[in-house]
Structure 1
Amino acid sequence: MGETIRLTSRFDGFEFEAYHAKPTDARRGGLLLIQEIFGVTDHIRELCDGFAEDGYETIAPAFYDRLERGFAADYSPEAIQKGVQHSQATPWEQVVGDAQAAIDALQAPVFVTGYCWGGAATWLVACRGMGVAAASAFYGRRISELVDETPRCPTILHFGKADASIPMEKVDEMREKHPDLPIYLYEAGHGFNSDRRADYHPDSARLGRLRTLQLFALNGAGRSEI
């Protein structure tokens, strides 16, 4: 359904690729969808296509293009390690600049969602990005690095109760820092939204998606002709 486009980062002027999926019917809004550590994979493109079917013009930037053009890893231990290395070599300031380029390319209202590394990046964009109507972050382990920052827009967080990489103490810290922030817990582990991962939990994935779409609907998503 989608196509590859090029965007220019607001951070350093770097030109990078992004997957772009347009709705085929009435448009509800724009959506920045942020990848896991694995890059813009088939799974990420499928998520973009799914949101486009729901009426959201969706862009998924290739945040690792400076390190490796077209990076899309599988789920082997070697690929996971490489994805972790790429994520650690990608500064948050750069992420904000790349994300802003995608936001600016979309017509308001613009929403943000992301998974894993992208969950933390979603939190970051909600805190520092301009022109974001609402954000929905899934199992962002590195949110704990950014917990002292405050979102500028309505934001919700999703975590699996059995996620070994995100102890409940970290989630409790987020609650203490942001007592009014909706945090949803699921009977699942890390990566429960991805049907490519061992922790995939269909019921939790459906519920998380429903809550995300409800958040968007409450914060400006509407229907207009393309």
Structure 2
Amino acid sequence: MGTSITFKRADGKDTEGYLAKAGRDHAPGIIVIQEWWGLQDQIKGMCDRLARAGYEALAPDLYGGVTVPYHDSQKANREMSSLDFLDAVDNIVRGAAAYLSQSGAKVGLTGFCLGGAVTVIGAVRVPEIAAACCFYGVPPREAAKPEDIKIPFQGHFATKDDWCTPEVVGALESDLKKSKARWELFRYDADHAFMNEQRTVHDRAAAELAWGRMLSFWRSHLGG
């Protein structure tokens, strides 16, 4: 359904991404941020699915064309560790928001794993974002403080997650209680990356429940 495009970063440089169009004018936009595996077909599929739900969905390619096989966690960690998160947010995410908002529509931000952390940072640092939905990713506080979020925020986390552990999610919840945002957090009896249907950790029941909650969130805060 979608296609690869080139768009401008906030600093004016070109960057790449995958765009799935809603097929109607002035559709709200959603930026979709990849896992640490890169811009995999699974993320493109998320964009296609959002387009079918009525949203223009753009997944920036944060790794510049590099994708990592699911079994190679060491390479994925190297790629993620080499990513300048603040540059990615301030220039790539903000450039994607500018691209999607050309029609005047509202723009949301979502992401998974690495992309979940980017979503929290973007919710703080990108003024063009109207609402943010995070899946199992929390950045270090030096990158963004969740209590500084002011836009509507929704989070989805797994109770069996060994990265975004229940303790990490509890700290996020405590920080959000200090914020001025309208927010909600959901926890699922599942593993990290339960939304990824290409991996053995996929949990269909949890994924479909989270998907429905996310769409309801977008309808409330972006329209569509």
Q: Secondary structure of the equivalent of 2:139? A: helix
CA distance, structure 2, for counterparts of residue 174 and residue 145 of structure 1: 14
CA distance, structure 2, for counterparts of residue 51 and residue 27 of structure 1: 15
Flag the 1:218–1:60 CA change in 2: closer, same or farther, 3 A. same
Verify: 1:100 aligned to 2:100, yes or no: no
Query: In the alignment, what sits opposite 2:70?
Result: 75
Matched-pair contact (CA < 8 Å) for 1:128–1:152: no
Query: In the alignment, what sits opposite 2:207?
Result: 205
Matched-pair contact (CA < 8 Å) for 2:20–2:58: yes
**Could you list the runs of 5+ residues in structure 1 that have no partner in the other structure?**
none
User: One-letter code of the match for 2:204?
Assistant: P
Match for residue 120 of structure 1 among 96, 117, 121: 117
TM-score (norm 2): 0.90
CA displacement, residues 161-203 of structure 1 (integer Å, 9 cap, x when unaligned): 0111222111111111112631110010100000112210011
CA distance, structure 2, for counterparts of residue 90 and residue 83 of structure 1: 11
Q: CA deviation at 1:142?
A: 3.0
Deviates most, 171-180 or 196-205: 171-180
CA distance, structure 2, for counterparts of residue 43 and residue 176 of structure 1: 32
Query: In the alignment, what sits opposite 1:167?
Result: 165
1:1-226 maps to which residues of 2 (within 5 A)? 1-11=1-11, 13-25=12-24, 28-65=27-64, 70-77=65-72, 80-96=73-89, 97-107=91-101, 108-142=105-139, 146=143, 148-149=145-146, 150-179=148-177, 181-222=183-224
Matched-pair contact (CA < 8 Å) for 1:6–1:17: yes
Matched-pair contact (CA < 8 Å) for 1:147–1:177: no
Q: CA deviation at 1:27?
A: 5.6
User: One-letter code of the match for 2:57?
Assistant: T
User: One-letter code of the match for 1:188?
Assistant: A
CA distance, structure 2, for counterparts of residue 14 and residue 83 of structure 1: 25
- How many residue pairs are counted as aligned between the two chains? 215
Q: CA deviation at 1:122?
A: 0.8
CA displacement, residues 22-59 of structure 1 (integer Å, 9 cap, x when unaligned): 01356641110000011111111111111001110111
CA distance, structure 1, for counterparts of residue 17 and residue 142 of structure 2: 26
Matched-pair contact (CA < 8 Å) for 2:194–2:206: yes
TM-score (norm 1): 0.89
CA distance, structure 2, for counterparts of residue 190 and residue 43 of structure 1: 15
Identity across the alignment (%): 30
CA displacement, residues 110-167 of structure 1 (integer Å, 9 cap, x when unaligned): 1111100000101111111122111100000435654624223101111100111222
Provide the aligned C-alpha RMSD in A. Answer: 1.7
Flag the 1:189–1:143 CA change in 2: closer, same or farther, 3 A. farther
CA distance, structure 1, for counterparts of residue 99 and residue 162 of structure 2: 37
Q: CA deviation at 1:14?
A: 3.2
**Could you list the runs of 5+ residues in structure 2 that have no partner in the other structure?**
none
